[in-house]
Amino acid sequence: MDIDTGAGIGATRRRPGPSGHSRTSPRRRLRAVLAVGAVATAATTAGALVMAGPASAASTLRSAAEASGHYFGTALTQSNLSNSTLTGVASAQFDMVTPGNEMKWDTTEPSNGSYNFGPGDQIVAWAKANNDRVRGHNLVWHSQLPSWVSSLPLNQVQAAMEAHITTEATHYKGQVYSWDVVNEPFNDDGTPRQDVFYNAFGGVGYIADAIKTAHAADPNAKLYINDYNIEGSGAKSNAMYSLAQSLLSAGVPLNGIGFESHFILGQIPSDMQSNMQRFASLGLDVAVTELDDRIQLPASTANLQQQATDFSNVVKDCLGVSRCVGVTQWGVGDADSWIPGFFSGYGAATMFDNNYQPKPSFNAALAALGGGATTPPSSNPPSTTPPSSAPPSTTPPSTTPPGGCHVADVINAWNTGLTSNLTITNNGSTAINGWKLAFTLPSGQSITSVWNATVTPSSGVVTATNLSYNATITANGGTTTLGFNANQTGNAGAPTSFTLNGTACSVS
């Protein structure tokens, strides 16, 4: 256990203090059922909860986040996967997965040169099956580091570190959205943590070396440094900022900074947004990577309301920074959170209670994302900006291979609008690199916002085009998802005449 890490975590500076019917396509998949289930539950739990609206555009964290080009993630461990209540919520609410422990050095290379990717592979497989992406976590960290590494002669550490990074990042090449390449390199006072890597390199030079090594193994993964207690400005955050500046000026392929965000109730730093913005202004992505908000137990109703405010503020802080790509909660619910095991007397730190029922913080986070309201999502400003790290691709579409394509369409509609979530399956035997999905919208429908694609025009025969991060649909059953919100005037029917790169697709 990382006592140092756990005990030190906690911010010190605080903030001042529809109507209409619902129609759901019978073609909905399991996730849609679970999503609506979670919302229905929200309405029946704890009177303090705000009623979520009818099956609307953004009744889940993932759909609400995707509507503005973000993700909402969770941490999952191998043992979590056998809890169907937990995975049901994870599947419905989250679209990014961080393995809680399964990609750390003590699991992946428990003895020198002997690798074990089974547990991490299970998490990746679950994520893929649920159309989620994966944040790789982590490659170099002083904690959960097997003793064979920390007891190596210092002149052997660099080779061991590079071999570990190369082997693990190559194993997961193309399967992870990002890597926390270096985790928690600073002490709380901003001095570098003097672990075996620091000692072997005689300074923080190991960080540049680690990032370059990871980049060589997986050039498409976003490479992060991740730490806690850097969410507000201060000595530790300033140290991270200086490090980021010097790495970038040296040409090191650093892509982002992860702000773990293990908060104490009511202590979200008031300058979190401006602090993240200064990193973004360097040309880096930023992400909230391990959010939780611990409460001294038992949690009162007032505590839960304060937690709702805290989660809302963190989500808004991220949305307020154009290069903040998403928020990840550390765990799915209070029952699987690390907090009670590390902070005696504390818990209730997540958006779902011990029975995986949504708490006020769930509705607050959803509302901050623009979802879950009693008004249809057309009242939310539609996103016209793709994720900063994912400009629209200019890749010319390849020919759709023999075997064709399939489009599964899940529609949630209300009296004046609808949400359509589309899953494209490539049944061909060659990968598609660059895609255009054309389809005909029913009369009266007009698209107001879109995620995981660009769409033009907004009505009639429209074409959805991939973004850079989802240009490839792998062969033999590979899938990608996109979706849109649309206004409608009484015909909430599904689009017709789907073609992928000019080839007709089957539809269900």
Q: Most distant CA pair in the chain: distance in Å?
A: 72
SS3 205: helix
- Taking the C-alpha atoms of residue 66 and residue 71, their distance in angstroms, rounded to an integer, is 6
Pick one of 22, 131, 144, 395: the residue that binds ligand G3I (CB under 6 A): 144
Judged by CB, which is closer to ligand G3I: 276, or 366? 276
Retrieve residue 440's tokens: 């005909």
Residue 268 CA, chain-centre distance (Å), reads: 20
Pick one of 260, 285, 336, 409: the residue that binds ligand G3I (CB under 6 A): 260
| 478 in contact with ligand G3I (CB under 6 A) | no
Nearest C-alpha neighbor of 228 from the set 286, 280, 181, 289: 289
| 4 in contact with ligand G3I (CB under 6 A) | no
- Taking the C-alpha atoms of residue 137 and residue 456, their distance in angstroms, rounded to an integer, is 37
Phi, psi of 197 (to 5 degrees): -70, -45
**Interface positions, 393-412, toward ligand G3I (CB under 6 A):** none
Q: Give the DSSP H or E segment for 407.
A: strand 405-413
| 338 in contact with ligand G3I (CB under 6 A) | yes
Judged by CB, which is closer to ligand G3I: 42, or 75? 75
432 neighbors 400 (Cβ within 8 angstroms) = yes
CB of 285 to ligand G3I, least distance (A): 19
CB of 336 to ligand G3I, least distance (A): 9
- The yes-or-no answer on residue 231 being catalytic is no
Judged by CB, which is closer to ligand G3I: 100, or 333? 100
Judged by CB, which is closer to ligand G3I: 10, or 403? 10
- CB within 8 Å of 456: residues ≥ 6 apart: 462, 463, 465
Judged by CB, which is closer to ligand G3I: 141, or 435? 141
Pick one of 25, 41, 108, 143: the residue that binds ligand G3I (CB under 6 A): 143
Q: Which segment (2-10, 26-34, 245-253, 304-312) binds ligand G3I by CB under 6 A?
A: 2-10
- Taking the C-alpha atoms of residue 508 and residue 495, their distance in angstroms, rounded to an integer, is 11
- The yes-or-no answer on residue 102 being catalytic is no
Pick one of 5, 68, 273, 480: the residue that binds ligand G3I (CB under 6 A): 5
CB of 147 to ligand G3I, least distance (A): 14
- Taking the C-alpha atoms of residue 188 and residue 10, their distance in angstroms, rounded to an integer, is 10
How does strand 133-140 pair with strand 96-99?
parallel
- What one-letter code names the amino acid at 415? N
Identified catalytic residue from 109, 184, 231, 260:
184
Judged by CB, which is closer to ligand G3I: 338, or 484? 338
| 195 in contact with ligand G3I (CB under 6 A) | no
Judged by CB, which is closer to ligand G3I: 97, or 494? 97
**Interface positions, 271-290, toward ligand G3I (CB under 6 A):** 290
- Taking the C-alpha atoms of residue 27 and residue 30, their distance in angstroms, rounded to an integer, is 10
Judged by CB, which is closer to ligand G3I: 102, or 285? 102
Q: Which segment (1-9, 202-210, 268-276, 404-412) binds ligand G3I by CB under 6 A?
A: 1-9
Sign of CA dihedral 77, 81, 82, 84: positive
CB of 87 to ligand G3I, least distance (A): 17
| 101 in contact with ligand G3I (CB under 6 A) | yes
CB of 410 to ligand G3I, least distance (A): 32
Phi, psi of 253 (to 5 degrees): -75, 60
CB of 113 to ligand G3I, least distance (A): 22
| 2 in contact with ligand G3I (CB under 6 A) | yes
| 6 in contact with ligand G3I (CB under 6 A) | yes
Q: Which residue has the tokens 């989250």?
A: 94
SS3 144: coil
Pick one of 88, 99, 100, 234: the residue that binds ligand G3I (CB under 6 A): 100
What CA–CA distances, in Å, run from 320 to 273, 283, 494?
7, 16, 34
What CA–CA distances, in Å, run from 37 to 48, 61, 89, 332?
18, 13, 9, 16
| 329 in contact with ligand G3I (CB under 6 A) | no
221 neighbors 211 (Cβ within 8 angstroms) = no
Residues identified as active-site? 184, 290
Point out which residues bind ligand G3I (CB under 6 A).
1-2, 5-6, 100-101, 143-144, 183, 260, 290, 338
